[in-house]
Amino acid sequence: MRDPFLLDAPRTGLLVTTVDELVVPTPVATIFAIAADVERWPTHLAHYRFVRMRERASDGGGIVEMAANRPFGPLGWPTWWLSQMAVNHEVPWVRFHHIGGVTTGMDVEWSFTPVAGGTLTRIVHTWNGPQWPLIGAFAATRVIAPVFVHGIASRTLAGLSAAAVAAHAAMRQVA
């Protein structure tokens, strides 16, 4: 098991910033536990093809390989990326730095803030786009970020929210 990655908050002032957020009607601990347990995401999310921990870190993160489909009606466009992942159990947050795939260099942060009615769960992606001559900036701002990043992140957030609500209800029934 490796030491945790020291990942900073997403950088500001980059070409692309996408924010997806939702008030999840559960305590912070419930949604945080589900979001941090990335290997179980495919059991909660129909659009995820797989999540594999290639290397584990002592904080629950490590090197994680993810693959999801971006649905377009009945069809899905396959996506894949490789990330460093860090988990902070005290604050709490989950951060990723993409090290493989089209989104190499992207920074991602999941944050969890208690609010009236539950937990404001926010996903921020920042990135300067792919290093493709002539079309990199266009592809990042017009296709990759709004269609793929937001399209997948919004579905992920909604699906993990539903899983957290179900888990919270099950815990309340046991208590």
pLDDT of the residue at 169: 86
- So what's the pLDDT on residue 175? 61
CATH classification of 16-174 is 3.30.530.20, yes or no?
Answer: yes
Interhelix angle 28-36/150-174, rounded to 10 degrees, is: 120
pLDDT band for 73, please (50, 70, 90 cuts).
confident
Q: pLDDT category, 78, cuts 50, 70, 90? A: very high
- Among candidate residues 53, 65, 81, 56, the one with its CA nearest the CA of residue 2: 56
